[in-house]
Every structure is written in structure tokens, then in C-alpha cells.
């Protein structure tokens, strides 16, 4: 049982000014696994003032000092590997193998990669008639989601520290314990008091307070489009800079020369990994009409290789949804797909056999989906795939871009020319061709309603900086 009803403010674990708490539920057992404080606006204000007080000193540290700090953070993070795996597997329901190889590892990679990039990052530039200096933006409010408890907070925190900004973190209340472990890591690494602060609580109270606080200079949020809109409205009152990483409805374009079994496996992996609770998940498989039947047969053949089950079992590929609320949302979308007349290839409503306890959904595949159907347009955030056919590559690209989102896209095939045309034609922030691997130095973010701004690598550091132009400075 995890019980920590304190916040981390100004380098110390402190009691909340309120007495309300939030229970954290293990989605695999439906039982309470711990309790956190439902923080108050007074708690948040204490954190903001601590960050504001620490900013002048921290923003004037040297690049070398911040590189060493990031290295120490990464070293301490590695020491807590087993603790991170245990907490994330329980609070998110992420299968233990995926937790170790992806959830834990992504957090570590951001700290390591940012330290590497910072070593050569240019904070000044001399032009012919001007001198440009990049200053730390100030106090940043970070609001992170539940689906990747270490990835988003690590990329934001690493970039903020590299830039010399101080922060207040509000992690998702469904998955707070990984973030609290990060606070312990920062404490052990000797992060100066006030540079990092953590306040737990609800999005409605603490999230709103962060995005409307007059002493916060920058808000970085990852989550839903609806909340992102509210954050922009709040931040507009003080013209506060906002960075948003929101949803997606990413396409997988299967080219006519693709290996059908490989393409089908790619598509299933996209919806099965992290139970489909991935903003970049390829949930629309665009398949040549001539290949459709073969593709569907390959899907049916491969599905047993992606077992749904207990996250503690190393053989499990797909765990439960994070909460009963999310399970209900996914079930509603599956029913909408059935009601729309799409053909149910696999899965459907209800829980998989033998998994009556826990928020488990079936891996669900629809075909004969119209491009404007709800399940083809809205982000489901669950293990649901829509298969849509096309006649030529131009039509495939047109369908791929027929969405309000633009976070990611995938292309599977062989011919370099058509792979390039498809990848360049998709209007999205990150395109993966075949088995392309994540590059932690490259920018991450989206087009359209997938967000504003970029994270990861040098682009992530830039978000926490403000450029200053000085004219007439003596050489």
C-alpha cells in the first residue's frame, strides 16, 4: 500500500493545508493501492512562491552545473529502477515487461539525452547587427498525464532544468506514485530547494490553479483536447505561454508492396501496447482494397500473440484500462462502432473471458469502416483498430489527413519512392516508416488539434527559453 499525503515543496515533504485525500485504484484488481492528498490552491501557491524564489539563482547557474545535475538525476533514477517498475505496473496496470522496457526506460532516456544535448546547446548567438541571448522563461507549471507516468514528466523536467527554469509539477491523480518517486530522485540528486516542487490533486482544482496563476510564466500540459482548451482560456488572462501535447487519431498507411503479416502485426501492436492508451497510437489502418481480405486474415491469425491479462505476468502484452471511467468510455466507442454498421472482426464489448475483475477490454478490430464514422474520427484511447480501404496512394494520404489531429503517422511498405511520398504527405508531427526507432533528440509534438509546441531534445529545451535581442552591444 502506497500512502503519501504530503507534497514536495521547497525541498521538503510537507503536509497539505487541506485534509481531503484521493484514493488511487489498482486497475487490475479494482482495489485501493494507496492514498494521496487532494492539494489546495494554498498548497500550489506555496510551491509557486518557492519556485519564484529559487529562480534567480538557478537561472544563473552555468551550463556545466546543469549538465552535472542532470547526470546526477539520471544516476539516481537508475538506482530506483525496481521501485519505478513496481509502482507503474500497479498504478497504471502496465504489463511488467512493457513497464521495464518502455515506461521506465523512456524516463531515463530523456534525462540522459537532454544532458548530452545541453553540453553543446547554444544559449547565445552573435549576428551582424545584434546579439541574441536565450534566457530561462521563469517558473513553469507542468501538468502530466496518466498513460506514461515517467515519459512526459521526464521530458518536461529535463528540458526545464537544462534551460534553468524552476517548476511545479502536478501529476495525474490516477498515477501519482511514479512522480513521487521522481521527487525522491531529485531530492537524492541534490536539486536545489525550490527548483522542483510537486503538488498532488485534481485537475479541476490544481490544474486550473496552475494555468491561471499570475506568477507562473509557462504552462506545459499533456492530456485531452478539452482540458487543453480550458488551459488556454485560463492562461490567456495573463498572456501566459502555453505548450500543449494533446490527442491523436494516427493513420497507418499500408502500401501495396508491404509484407501483409508484418503490416498486420504493426497494426495490432499499435492498439495493444499500453492497452491502446497512447496518444500516438496508429488506430486507423489504411489498406489497399486489393489487400483487404489478406490483411484481415493476418490480423485474425496474429491476435493470439497479444494476450490480455494480469500486468504482473511477464507473458501479458495488454493490461487493463487505467480506470472504470476509461473502460466505460472504450466500451461506448465499441458499441458505436457496432451501431454504425462496421464489421466486427475481433473483440467487441465486455471483458475478455476469465478477466471479470479488472478494467480489461478486448482487443477489438473493425473493418468496413467509413472514414467519417465516429470510431474513425475520435480518439478512443483504448485497444480499438479501424480498417479503412483505399484505391491509390493519393487517396490514402487524403484519408490519413482527414482528421482534426496530426500527432503521428505510420507507413509500411518496401518501395523507397512511395514510402517517402506517403511519409512526407501525412500532416503530422512524427512519422514512423516500417520499424523506425524513437529518436530522443528529435522534436515531438503535433499539427492541428494535437497541440502547440514541441518536446524532446533541443526543441524541448527551447520551449523553456525566451530569446532576447540586444542591439548596439559593444564587441
Q: Which residues are catalytic?
A: 245
Q: What is the DSSP pairing of strand 21-26 with strand 343-346?
A: unpaired
- Rg of the chain over CA atoms, in angstroms? 23
Q: Which of 107, 99, 101 is nearest to 151 (CA)?
A: 107
Contact 264, 368 (CB under 8 A): no
Give CA–CA dist 19/6, Å, rounded. Answer: 11
Residue 277 CA to residue 116 CA, distance in Å, equals 30
Which residue reads 538557478 in cell numbers?
58
SS3 of the chain: the string is: CEEECEEEECCEEEECCCCCEEEEEECCCCEEEEEEECCCHHHHHHHHHHHHHHHHHHHCCCHHHHHHHHHHHHHHHHHCHHHHHHHHHHHHCCCHHHHHHHHHHHHHHHHHHHHHHHCCCCCEEECCCEEEEEEECCEEEEECCCCCCCHHHHHHHHHHHHHCCEEEEECCCCCCHHHHHHHHHHHHCCCCCCCEEECCCCHHHHHHHHHHCCCCCEEEEECCHHHHHHHHHHHHCCCCEEEEECCCCEEEEECCCCCHHHHHHHHHHHHHHHHHCCCCCEEEEEEEHHHHHHHHHHHHHHHHHCCECCCCCCCCCECCCCCHHHHHHHHHHHHHHHHCCCEEEECCCCCCCCCCCCCCCCCEEEECCCCCCHHHHCCCCCCEEEEEEECCHHHHHHHHCCCCCCCEEEEECCCHHHHHHHHHHCCCCEEEECCCCCCCCCCECCCHHHEECCECHHHHHHHCEEEEEEECCCC
Torsion of CA 391, 394, 395, 396, to 10 degrees: 90
Amino acid at each position: 500500500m502506497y500512502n503519501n499525503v504530503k507534497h514536495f515543496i521547497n525541498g521538503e515533504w510537507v503536509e497539505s493545508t487541506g485534509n481531503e485525500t484521493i484514493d488511487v485504484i489498482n486497475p487490475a484488481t479494482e482495489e485501493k493501492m494507496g492514498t494521496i492528498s487532494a492539494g489546495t490552491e494554498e498548497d500550489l501557491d506555496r510551491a509557486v512562491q518557492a519556485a519564484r524564489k529559487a529562480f534567480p539563482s538557478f537561472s544563473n547557474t552555468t551550463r556545466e552545473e546543469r549538465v552535472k545535475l542532470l547526470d546526477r538525476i539520471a544516476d539516481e533514477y537508475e538506482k530506483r529502477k525496481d521501485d519505478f517498475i513496481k509502482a507503474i505496473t500497479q498504478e497504471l496496470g502496465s504489463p511488467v515487461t512493457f513497464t521495464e522496457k518502455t515506461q521506465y526506460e523512456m524516463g531515463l532516456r530523456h534525462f540522459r539525452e537532454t544532458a548530452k544535448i545541453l553540453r553543446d546547446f547554444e544559449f547565445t548567438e552573435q549576428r551582424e547587427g545584434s546579439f541574441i541571448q536565450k534566457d530561462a522563461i521563469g517558473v513553469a507549471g507542468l501538468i502530466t498525464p496518466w498513460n506514461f507516468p515517467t515519459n512526459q514528466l521526464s521530458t518536461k523536467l529535463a528540458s526545464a532544468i537544462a534551460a534553468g527554469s524552476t517548476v511545479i509539477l502536478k501529476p495525474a491523480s490516477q498515477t501519482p506514485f511514479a512522480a513521487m518517486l521522481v521527487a525522491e530522485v531529485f531530492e537524492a540528486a541534490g536539486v536545489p530547494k525550490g527548483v522542483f516542487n510537486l503538488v498532488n490533486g485534481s485537475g479541476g482544482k490544481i490544474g486550473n490553479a496552475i494555468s491561471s496563476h499570475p506568477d507562473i510564466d509557462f504552462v506545459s500540459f499533456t492530456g485531452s483536447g478539452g482540458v487543453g482548451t480550458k488551459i488556454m482560456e485560463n492562461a490567456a488572462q495573463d498572456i501566459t505561454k502555453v505548450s500543449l501535447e494533446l490527442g491523436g487519431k494516427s493513420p497507418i498507411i499500408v502500401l501495396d508492396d508491404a509484407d501483409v503479416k508484418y503490416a498486420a502485426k504493426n497494426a495490432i501492436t499499435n492498439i495493444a501496447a499500453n492497452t491502446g492508451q497512447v496518444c500516438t497510437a496508429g488506430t486507423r489502418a489504411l489498406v489497399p482494397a486489393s489487400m483487404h481480405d489478406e490483411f484481415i486474415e493476418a490480423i485474425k491469425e496474429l491476435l493470439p500473440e497479444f494476450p490480455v491479462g494480469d500486468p504482473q505476468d511477464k507473458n501479458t502484452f495488454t493490461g487493463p484500462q487505467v480506470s472504470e471511467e476509461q473502460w466505460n468510455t472504450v466500451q461506448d466507442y465499441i458499441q458505436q462502432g457496432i451501431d454504425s454498421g462496421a464489421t466486427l472482426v475481433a473483440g467487441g464489448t465486455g471483458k475478455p473471458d476469465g478477466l471479470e475483475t479488472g478494467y480489461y477490454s478486448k482487443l477489438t478490430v473493425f473493418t468496413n469502416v467509413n472514414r467519417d464514422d465516429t470510431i474513425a474520427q475520435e480518439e478512443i484511447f483504448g485497444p480499438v483498430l479501424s480498417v479503412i480501404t483505399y484505391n491509390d496512394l493519393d487517396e490514402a494520404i487524403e484519408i490519413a489527413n482527414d482528421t482534426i489531429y496530426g500527432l503521428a503517422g505510420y507507413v509500411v511498405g518496401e518501395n523507397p519512392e512511395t514510402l517517402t511520398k506517403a511519409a512526407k504527405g501525412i500532416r503530422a508531427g512524427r512519422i514512423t516508416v516500417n520499424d523506425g526507432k524513437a529518436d530522443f533528440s528529435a522534436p515531438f509534438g503535433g499539427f492541428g488539434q494535437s497541440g502547440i509546441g514541441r518536446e524532446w531534445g533541443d526543441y524541448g529545451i527551447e520551449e523553456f527559453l525566451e530569446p532576447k535581442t540586444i542591439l548596439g552591444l559593444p564587441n
